[in-house]
Structure 1
Amino acid sequence: MEIEVTNDELARIRRNKREIEERFRDLEGLERTLRVLKLRFLIEQRERIETRLVEMRTNYIELTEFEETAKHDKEFLMAFRKKLSEENKRLRAELEARRR
Protein backbone atom coordinates (compact mmCIF):
# COMPACT_ATOMS: atom_id res chain seq x y z
CA MET A 1 0.00 0.00 0.00
CA GLU A 2 1.26 3.45 -0.87
CA ILE A 3 0.34 6.63 0.97
CA GLU A 4 0.85 10.02 -0.61
CA VAL A 5 1.43 13.00 1.67
CA THR A 6 2.05 16.67 1.03
CA ASN A 7 5.24 18.43 2.09
CA ASP A 8 3.40 20.02 5.02
CA GLU A 9 2.10 16.64 6.14
CA LEU A 10 5.56 15.15 5.82
CA ALA A 11 7.02 17.91 7.98
CA ARG A 12 4.27 17.34 10.57
CA ILE A 13 4.97 13.59 10.50
CA ARG A 14 8.66 14.21 11.12
CA ARG A 15 7.89 16.58 14.00
CA ASN A 16 5.53 14.07 15.58
CA LYS A 17 7.63 11.00 14.77
CA ARG A 18 7.85 9.78 18.37
CA GLU A 19 4.10 10.10 18.91
CA ILE A 20 3.41 8.31 15.64
CA GLU A 21 5.79 5.48 16.53
CA GLU A 22 4.02 5.09 19.87
CA ARG A 23 0.69 4.89 18.06
CA PHE A 24 1.98 2.13 15.82
CA ARG A 25 3.13 0.18 18.86
CA ASP A 26 -0.28 0.56 20.42
CA LEU A 27 -3.14 -1.44 18.85
CA GLU A 28 -5.68 1.26 19.60
CA GLY A 29 -3.39 3.82 18.02
CA LEU A 30 -3.13 1.65 14.92
CA GLU A 31 -6.88 1.35 14.71
CA ARG A 32 -7.32 5.13 15.10
CA THR A 33 -4.68 5.76 12.46
CA LEU A 34 -6.35 3.28 10.12
CA ARG A 35 -9.76 4.91 10.64
CA VAL A 36 -8.31 8.36 9.97
CA LEU A 37 -6.57 7.15 6.81
CA LYS A 38 -9.70 5.35 5.65
CA LEU A 39 -11.84 8.42 6.31
CA ARG A 40 -9.40 10.65 4.44
CA PHE A 41 -9.40 8.21 1.51
CA LEU A 42 -13.21 8.09 1.43
CA ILE A 43 -13.47 11.88 1.58
CA GLU A 44 -11.03 12.21 -1.33
CA GLN A 45 -12.98 9.62 -3.32
CA ARG A 46 -16.26 11.41 -2.63
CA GLU A 47 -14.76 14.75 -3.72
CA ARG A 48 -13.49 13.17 -6.96
CA ILE A 49 -16.90 11.61 -7.63
CA GLU A 50 -18.72 14.88 -6.89
CA THR A 51 -16.38 16.73 -9.26
CA ARG A 52 -16.95 14.12 -11.96
CA LEU A 53 -20.72 14.32 -11.41
CA VAL A 54 -20.66 18.10 -11.91
CA GLU A 55 -18.63 17.61 -15.10
CA MET A 56 -21.05 14.96 -16.37
CA ARG A 57 -24.08 17.16 -15.65
CA THR A 58 -22.45 20.07 -17.48
CA ASN A 59 -21.58 17.83 -20.44
CA TYR A 60 -25.13 16.45 -20.50
CA ILE A 61 -26.63 19.94 -20.55
CA GLU A 62 -24.27 20.98 -23.36
CA LEU A 63 -25.13 17.83 -25.30
CA THR A 64 -28.88 18.33 -25.02
CA GLU A 65 -28.49 21.99 -26.05
CA PHE A 66 -26.39 20.90 -29.03
CA GLU A 67 -29.00 18.28 -29.92
CA GLU A 68 -31.77 20.92 -29.89
CA THR A 69 -29.68 23.28 -32.02
CA ALA A 70 -28.97 20.48 -34.49
CA LYS A 71 -32.69 19.65 -34.66
CA HIS A 72 -33.60 23.28 -35.41
CA ASP A 73 -30.78 23.55 -37.96
CA LYS A 74 -32.02 20.42 -39.71
CA GLU A 75 -35.57 21.75 -39.84
CA PHE A 76 -34.31 25.06 -41.23
CA LEU A 77 -32.18 23.33 -43.86
CA MET A 78 -35.00 21.01 -44.90
CA ALA A 79 -37.35 24.00 -45.36
CA PHE A 80 -34.64 25.85 -47.29
CA ARG A 81 -34.06 22.80 -49.48
CA LYS A 82 -37.79 22.56 -50.17
CA LYS A 83 -37.87 26.23 -51.22
CA LEU A 84 -34.87 25.69 -53.49
CA SER A 85 -36.51 22.64 -55.03
CA GLU A 86 -39.75 24.58 -55.68
CA GLU A 87 -37.78 27.49 -57.15
CA ASN A 88 -35.85 25.07 -59.35
CA LYS A 89 -39.11 23.49 -60.60
CA ARG A 90 -40.55 26.92 -61.35
CA LEU A 91 -37.43 28.01 -63.25
CA ARG A 92 -37.39 24.76 -65.26
CA ALA A 93 -41.03 25.26 -66.14
CA GLU A 94 -40.32 28.85 -67.27
CA LEU A 95 -37.34 27.68 -69.32
CA GLU A 96 -39.40 24.92 -70.90
CA ALA A 97 -42.20 27.41 -71.71
CA ARG A 98 -39.70 29.75 -73.39
CA ARG A 99 -38.31 26.93 -75.53
CA ARG A 100 -41.75 26.18 -77.03
Structure 2
Amino acid sequence: MEIEVTNEELKAIRENKHEIERRFRDLEGLERTLRVLKLRLLLEGKDRVEKKLAEMRASYAELVEFEKMAKRDKEFLMAFRKELSEENKRLRAELEAMKK
Protein backbone atom coordinates (compact mmCIF):
# COMPACT_ATOMS: atom_id res chain seq x y z
CA MET A 1 0.00 0.00 0.00
CA GLU A 2 1.29 3.44 -0.90
CA ILE A 3 0.35 6.68 0.81
CA GLU A 4 1.09 10.07 -0.72
CA VAL A 5 1.64 13.01 1.62
CA THR A 6 2.33 16.70 1.08
CA ASN A 7 5.43 18.42 2.42
CA GLU A 8 3.41 19.88 5.29
CA GLU A 9 2.03 16.45 6.17
CA LEU A 10 5.53 14.95 6.00
CA LYS A 11 6.79 17.65 8.36
CA ALA A 12 3.90 16.93 10.76
CA ILE A 13 4.65 13.21 10.56
CA ARG A 14 8.30 13.79 11.43
CA GLU A 15 7.35 16.09 14.31
CA ASN A 16 4.85 13.52 15.64
CA LYS A 17 6.97 10.45 14.89
CA HIS A 18 6.92 9.12 18.44
CA GLU A 19 3.14 9.60 18.75
CA ILE A 20 2.61 7.81 15.44
CA GLU A 21 4.86 4.93 16.45
CA ARG A 22 2.98 4.63 19.75
CA ARG A 23 -0.33 4.51 17.88
CA PHE A 24 0.93 1.74 15.63
CA ARG A 25 1.91 -0.29 18.67
CA ASP A 26 -1.50 0.29 20.18
CA LEU A 27 -4.38 -1.55 18.47
CA GLU A 28 -6.90 1.23 19.18
CA GLY A 29 -4.46 3.80 17.87
CA LEU A 30 -3.97 1.72 14.75
CA GLU A 31 -7.73 1.49 14.25
CA ARG A 32 -8.07 5.27 14.70
CA THR A 33 -5.27 5.84 12.23
CA LEU A 34 -6.89 3.52 9.71
CA ARG A 35 -10.26 5.28 10.14
CA VAL A 36 -8.58 8.66 9.59
CA LEU A 37 -6.81 7.38 6.48
CA LYS A 38 -10.02 5.82 5.17
CA LEU A 39 -11.92 9.06 5.79
CA ARG A 40 -9.25 11.06 4.01
CA LEU A 41 -9.34 8.65 1.07
CA LEU A 42 -13.14 8.90 0.91
CA LEU A 43 -13.01 12.70 1.06
CA GLU A 44 -10.45 12.82 -1.73
CA GLY A 45 -12.66 10.50 -3.80
CA LYS A 46 -15.67 12.70 -3.06
CA ASP A 47 -13.72 15.77 -4.17
CA ARG A 48 -12.73 14.04 -7.43
CA VAL A 49 -16.32 12.99 -8.10
CA GLU A 50 -17.64 16.50 -7.35
CA LYS A 51 -15.05 18.02 -9.69
CA LYS A 52 -15.96 15.56 -12.45
CA LEU A 53 -19.67 16.26 -11.90
CA ALA A 54 -19.05 20.00 -12.22
CA GLU A 55 -17.12 19.40 -15.46
CA MET A 56 -19.92 17.21 -16.81
CA ARG A 57 -22.56 19.82 -15.91
CA ALA A 58 -20.54 22.50 -17.70
CA SER A 59 -20.11 20.26 -20.75
CA TYR A 60 -23.82 19.45 -20.77
CA ALA A 61 -24.72 23.15 -20.59
CA GLU A 62 -22.37 23.84 -23.52
CA LEU A 63 -23.93 20.98 -25.48
CA VAL A 64 -27.47 22.24 -24.82
CA GLU A 65 -26.45 25.75 -25.92
CA PHE A 66 -24.79 24.34 -29.05
CA GLU A 67 -27.95 22.38 -29.84
CA LYS A 68 -30.09 25.53 -29.49
CA MET A 69 -27.70 27.47 -31.70
CA ALA A 70 -27.72 24.70 -34.32
CA LYS A 71 -31.54 24.72 -34.31
CA ARG A 72 -31.60 28.52 -34.76
CA ASP A 73 -29.04 28.26 -37.57
CA LYS A 74 -31.07 25.56 -39.30
CA GLU A 75 -34.25 27.64 -39.07
CA PHE A 76 -32.38 30.66 -40.46
CA LEU A 77 -30.92 28.64 -43.33
CA MET A 78 -34.28 27.08 -44.16
CA ALA A 79 -35.90 30.55 -44.28
CA PHE A 80 -33.02 31.87 -46.40
CA ARG A 81 -33.33 28.87 -48.73
CA LYS A 82 -37.05 29.56 -49.10
CA GLU A 83 -36.35 33.21 -49.94
CA LEU A 84 -33.75 32.15 -52.52
CA SER A 85 -36.18 29.67 -54.05
CA GLU A 86 -38.91 32.32 -54.31
CA GLU A 87 -36.42 34.83 -55.76
CA ASN A 88 -35.24 32.21 -58.26
CA LYS A 89 -38.86 31.44 -59.25
CA ARG A 90 -39.56 35.16 -59.72
CA LEU A 91 -36.44 35.67 -61.84
CA ARG A 92 -37.30 32.65 -64.04
CA ALA A 93 -40.76 34.06 -64.58
CA GLU A 94 -39.27 37.45 -65.57
CA LEU A 95 -36.82 35.69 -67.90
CA GLU A 96 -39.64 33.71 -69.52
CA ALA A 97 -41.66 36.92 -69.93
CA MET A 98 -38.69 38.62 -71.61
CA LYS A 99 -38.27 35.71 -74.06
CA LYS A 100 -41.83 36.06 -75.31
Runs of at least 4 residues off by over 2 Å: none
Which is further off, 36-45 or 89-98? Answer: 89-98
Identity of aligned residues (%): 74
- Give 1:90's aligned amino acid: R
Using the TM superposition, give the Cα deviation of residue 43 of structure 1 relative to its aligned residue in structure 2, in angstroms.
Answer: 0.6
Partner residue of 1:24?
A: 24
Q: 1:72-87 to 2 correspondence within 5 Å?
A: 72-87=72-87
Q: Secondary structure at the match of 2:50?
A: helix
- Give 2:92's aligned amino acid: R
Q: Which runs of no fewer than 5 residues in structure 1 stay unpaired?
A: none
Partner residue of 1:48?
A: 48
Q: Which runs of no fewer than 5 residues in structure 2 stay unpaired?
A: none
Counterparts of 1:68 and 1:15, CA distance in 2: 58
Give the TM-score, by structure 1 length.
0.94
Counterparts of 1:12 and 1:61, CA distance in 2: 43
